[in-house]
Amino acid sequence: MVLQVMVAHCAMFIVIGEVAQIGYTNRMLIVLLILAAVFLDYLLGEPERLHPLAGFGRLAVWVEGRLYGTRRLSAPVLRLAGAIAWLILIIPFVFAGWWLGSQGMVGQALAVVLLYLALGANSLFQHARTVAHGLQQQHLSYARERVGMMVSRDTAQMNQTEVVRATIESVLENGCDAIFGALFWFLLLGAPGVVLYRLANTLDAMWGYRNERYADFGWAAARSDDLLNWIPARLTALGYIVVGKTAQGWRCWQQQGRRWYGVNPGVVMASGAGALNLVLGGPARYHGMLKERPILGAGKAPDVNDIERSVLFVQHSLWLWLGVMFIGGWCAETWW
């Protein structure tokens, strides 16, 4: 691990040094910084200790306790409190991201680190492959435990097909949340953009539930995440149908995406399931209650080998978009 860290940091500073010498404009510079951050994520994965998002989560719990706690408040007051909490937690860090990213070469290095911390491709793929390995070794209870780290549904009584389905659904949905959303906002706004996206996404994961406690307090967090993910979700879906069964993926996107819960996850999962030729969705148990979910995709029921297929599928989509960004940056640098 020490050697990997050294190699990663050397590679990052070589990229930044070359950029500074060549004199690229912001268009190509930001693409090269994206490539450096993706490489860091590939090489190092998610930090095992002292991840900044863990500290941010604790801060969010503290803010929630001060503005909400156990008090019974009216719906309008709760929505206002949730919006204030969102602003208190997001705005200072976005400003800090803007300031850090503006500090010359040091700022560029810090921007790469911020994007690396916001990405979760390596971690997502490792989690999925761990579940697949457990199933291949006939350790269903272990696979249930591991998939429980990826999804919010009840996993204790899942059969093998349900574990596989939950894993693939998580891989597809988090292709947007953990990868493409962060890349999009970094490409658009740089360091403050990726800070905004990742922290807003984290608050949605904490507060964006339609239950008694968070339906109103989490309203601002949920709506902001919907807004920030609207374009990335559709670009993710587009990448999915390009690298898979295009016609079927497009048809599932158009026919099934809007039936799912929320304006973005259904688009991503329906297109991915169709492009993979898999049937996902269907009944699942949440907090002890069986929920009848719409069917997504078309083709066959997933099996354990389809977990690796889904991982490679999202990887190929990532490579596709990195290639598009690089070519677009090169063309902009050459012709404009």
Question: Between residues 232 and 330, which one has the greater pLDDT?
Answer: 232
Quote the distance between the C-alpha of residue 229 and its chain's center: 10
CB 13 within 8 A of CB 110: no
- Angle (CA) 162-168-172 rounded to 5° is 145
What's the start-to-end Cα distance of the chain, in Å? 42
Cut 0.85: pTM above it? yes
> Does the structure show a pLDDT above 60 at 4?
no
What element of type H or E holds 95?
A: helix 75-101
> From the CA atom positions of the chain, what is the Rg in Å?
20
Instruction: Count Cβ neighbours within 10 Å for each residue of 105-134 and write b for 16 or more, e otherwise.
Output: eebbbbbbbbbbbbbbbbbbbebbbbbbbb
CB 109 within 8 A of CB 13: yes
Q: What percent of the chain has pLDDT over 90?
A: 71
Q: Which residues contact 258 (CB under 8 A, 6 or more apart)?
A: 266, 267
Tokens describing residue 164: 């596989």
Structure confidence at residue 168 as a pLDDT band (50, 70, 90): very high
The pLDDT value recorded for residue 65 is 92
Q: Name residue 284's beta-bridge partners.
A: 291
Burial class (CB in 10 A: 0-12, 13-18, 19+), 135: buried
The pLDDT value recorded for residue 336 is 65
The pLDDT value recorded for residue 263 is 86
CA distance 188 to 180: 12
Each residue's pLDDT tens digit, 173-231 = 999 999 999 999 999 999 999 999 999 999 999 998 888 888 999 999 999 999 999 99
The pLDDT value recorded for residue 29 is 85
Sequence letter at residue 304: V
259-263 CB contacts, 8 Å cutoff, 24+ apart: 259/294, 260/293, 260/294, 260/296, 261/293, 262/226, 263/226, 263/230, 263/233
Nearest alpha carbon to residue 238 among 182, 171, 320, 124: 320
Tokens describing residue 287: 């907090």
Quote the distance between the C-alpha of residue 254 and its chain's center: 22
Number of DSSP helices (H) and strands (E) in the chain, helices first: 15, 4
CA distance 155 to 185: 33
Each residue's pLDDT tens digit, 279-301 = 999 999 888 888 889 999 999 99
Residue whose entry in the numeric block shows the structure tokens 């997933």: 302
Nearest alpha carbon to residue 84 among 97, 60, 67, 96: 67
CA distance 278 to 45: 28
Question: Between residues 241 and 212, which one has the greater pLDDT?
Answer: 241
Q: Name residue 286's beta-bridge partners.
A: 289
Structure confidence at residue 33 as a pLDDT band (50, 70, 90): very high
The rounded mean pLDDT for the chain is 89
Each residue's pLDDT tens digit, 67-114 = 987 778 888 999 999 999 999 999 999 999 999 988 888 989 999 999
CA distance 167 to 77: 38
